[in-house]
Each structure stands twice: as C-alpha cells, then as structure tokens.
Amino acid sequence: MSKMYLSLPEEFSYEMNFQFLERSPRELLHRVENNSVVKLLKAGDEKVLFRIRPGDGKLMLDFLNGTPSAEAKSFVRAYVTEWFDLETDLKPFYTMASGDKILKALVDRFYGYRIMGQPDLFESIVWAVLGQQINLQFAYTLKQRFVEQFGERLFWNEQSYFLFPTARLVAELKDEVLLPLQFSRQKSRYTITIAEAFASGELSKEKLKGLTLEDAKEKLMKIKGVGNWTANYALMKTFRYRDAFPLEDAGVHNAIKNLKKMDRKPTLDEVRKFFKKYKGWEAYATLYLWKSL
C-alpha cells in the first residue's frame, strides 16, 4: 500500500481536531473509523481514496484504491495540509491568549486545536449557506441529501465515498430538484446563484488569494446570499484569515454569555468590545469560544 507522511507542528492535537471531524454521523465527505479518517478527493481525472491516522508526531496517509500519480499525491498533500491547518504558527496566538483570563483557560483545555478547514471555497460557501438560520444537525441532513443526489462517488470495499457536487453541475440545477430535499426556496436560489458565479469564473479561490480580508469579503458579498457572516465564515475556513470575525454568530454570543456568566446574550457592541483585545487573531479566538460550547 502506497503511503505518505506529513510532519505536524508542535502545537497540534490529533485528538482535538479529530473530535471536530466526528461531529455528525450524517457527514458524507469523510468517514471516521477506528481513530482514522477516510477521505475521497479528485485530482484532475483521478479519484484518490486515502486514510489519515496519527503516528510518531506525523500524519500518516495510506492510499487505499491504488497508487496515485505524483501530481495526485502532491494535490492530496496540499489539501490535507490546508484541511488540518498545519501551516499556521499558533505560538503568537497562545502568547496573546496567556495574558487573557478567558482565552488562557480555553487554550489550556484545548491546546493544539486548529481551524479544521474546507480547502474548496465553493463547498465552504455552500455549507455556510446551508447552515443559515437552522440547527447544525438539520444542516448536515441537507448536505447529506445534496451530496448523495449530486456528488460523484466511489464504491470501495463495500462502502460509498462521495465528492462534493461541482459548481458546474449545480449551476445547471433548478429549484424544483432542490426543494424536495427540504431546501427552502431561498437556500435553493442562493446555492444555484453561488454555483453560477463559480462556474462562470466570476468567483474562484485563485481570485481571492492575496487580498486583504475587506477586499475578499467585498468580492464574496457581491454574490446574492453571501452576507457578512457567510463571507467571514468561508474566509476563516478556507483561507485562515486570522482576523475573520463572524460577529453575528449565535455560537460566539452563547459562549461569551456562558464564560462571562451573563444572564442574557451580549449585544453586538458588547461582542465587538469583548473581541478588541484579540485583534489580529479574531478567527482563532472564535474557534476556541466555539469549542467551549
């Protein structure tokens, strides 16, 4: 069996990040089994199925459905590096957190937790749209139906493994095929509109690379259905903008309420004030607040 090894930064907890991947039994884009994660990717025309497991300070990747080409291996290496947030230096964040009572306690509890990302920008934005104004488990149900219906799959070892639907395919869909999956008409319209922007080349990961957070948000928010929360979420999860800050996020509000022992949710101004001391690291502060829940 062909293998690959990825070095891990010192501030990395396989257990903490693995817990995130176990969030829902409805997740179809990876399969968690026996302290390992199995994932299908498509590199050019090659479908590559691989398992990720921990070992001796490294991530070990086993290629399951044959030996991939050198190009495909390179694609998988880059994807997993992004997915597991292996290139962010958390030392400055932890130094900043050490001077803050609330964040220090969270870092002590969840040391090595990182932004488990979504390297595919189209997937990231659609997932954010699916999660708008509904609970997380119903969002996973919508995603499961969407992926099963429109995603490519690989059948291996008596299991099906899925790819997220492509923007080109989704751009051709009509509301009538998404509504029976329990998409609201608004979510259906937004999903198709976002796919059209990607399929036409109006929007792409490459076009946002290197932009400031504000410029990247401005480009995303030109697409109908992408508001401030969705844009910040996608930029945090796909590009690791350290200052991406989903101000309106209900989870952030609940975490602040709990940690500060408030008898009500904070106002938006109170949330802004709370985050002032985390300037430049808002995305990672948000991550640890979410984890506290």
Q: Do 81 and 127 fall within a single domain?
A: no
Q: Is 249 a catalytic residue?
A: yes
- Among 69, 87, 105, the domain-final residue is 87
Q: Do 78 and 140 fall within a single domain?
A: no
Q: Do 125 and 232 fall within a single domain?
A: yes
Residue 179 lies in a domain: yes
Q: What is the CATH number of the domain that holds 20?
A: 3.30.310.20
Residue 160 lies in a domain: yes
Residue 253 lies in a domain: no
Q: Do 125 and 234 fall within a single domain?
A: yes
Q: Do 65 and 140 fall within a single domain?
A: no
Residue 251 lies in a domain: no
Check: CB of residue 2 under 8 Å from CB of residue 60.
Answer: no
Instruction: Let me know how long the chain is.
Output: 293
* Beta strands 30-33; 36-43: pairing state: antiparallel
- The CA distance from 109 to 66, in Å, is 40
The model's pTM is 0.95
Structural domain including 135 reads 121-239
- The CA distance from 203 to 123, in Å, is 13
* Residue in this structure with the two tokens 């990040």, named with its chain if needed: 17
SS3 of the chain: CCEEEEECCCCCCHHHHHHHHCCCCCCCCEEEECCEEEEEEEECCEEEEEEEEEECCEEEEEECCCCCCHHHHHHHHHHHHHHCCCCCCCHHHHHHHCCCHHHHHHHHHHCCCCCCCCCCHHHHHHHHHHCCCCCHHHHHHHHHHHHHHHCCEEEECCEEEECCCCHHHHCCCCHHHHHHHCCCHHHHHHHHHHHHHHHCCCCCHHHHCCCCHHHHHHHHCCCCCCCHHHHHHHHHHHHCCCCCCCCCCHHHHHHHHHHCCCCCCCCHHHHHHHHHHHCCCHHHHHHHHHHHC
Check: CB of residue 127 under 8 Å from CB of residue 143.
Answer: yes
- Per-residue confidence of the chain (293 residues) as pLDDT tens digits? 799 999 999 999 999 999 999 999 999 999 998 899 999 999 999 999 999 999 888 999 999 999 999 999 999 999 999 999 999 999 999 999 999 999 999 999 999 999 999 999 999 999 999 988 889 899 999 999 999 999 999 999 999 999 999 999 999 999 999 999 999 999 999 999 999 999 999 999 999 999 999 999 999 999 999 999 999 999 999 999 999 999 999 999 999 999 999 999 999 999 999 999 999 999 999 999 999 99
Check: CB of residue 163 under 8 Å from CB of residue 40.
Answer: yes
Residues 6+ apart with CB under 8 A from 100: 277, 278
Q: What is the CATH number of the domain that holds 201?
A: 1.10.340.30
Q: Do 75 and 140 fall within a single domain?
A: no
Overall domain count for the chain: 2
Which of 85, 120, 249, 263 is catalytic? The answer is: 249
Residue 94 lies in a domain: no
Contacts 24+ apart (CB under 8 A), 290-293: 290/251, 290/252, 290/255, 291/16, 291/106, 291/110, 291/113, 292/106, 292/109, 292/255, 292/258, 292/259, 293/251, 293/254, 293/255, 293/258
Residue 64 lies in a domain: yes
- Among 211, 239, 267, the domain-final residue is 239
Q: Do 235 and 139 fall within a single domain?
A: yes
Residue 50 lies in a domain: yes
Q: Do 136 and 73 fall within a single domain?
A: no
Q: Do 141 and 212 fall within a single domain?
A: yes
Residue 92 lies in a domain: no
Q: Do 142 and 209 fall within a single domain?
A: yes
- Among 201, 220, 239, the domain-final residue is 239
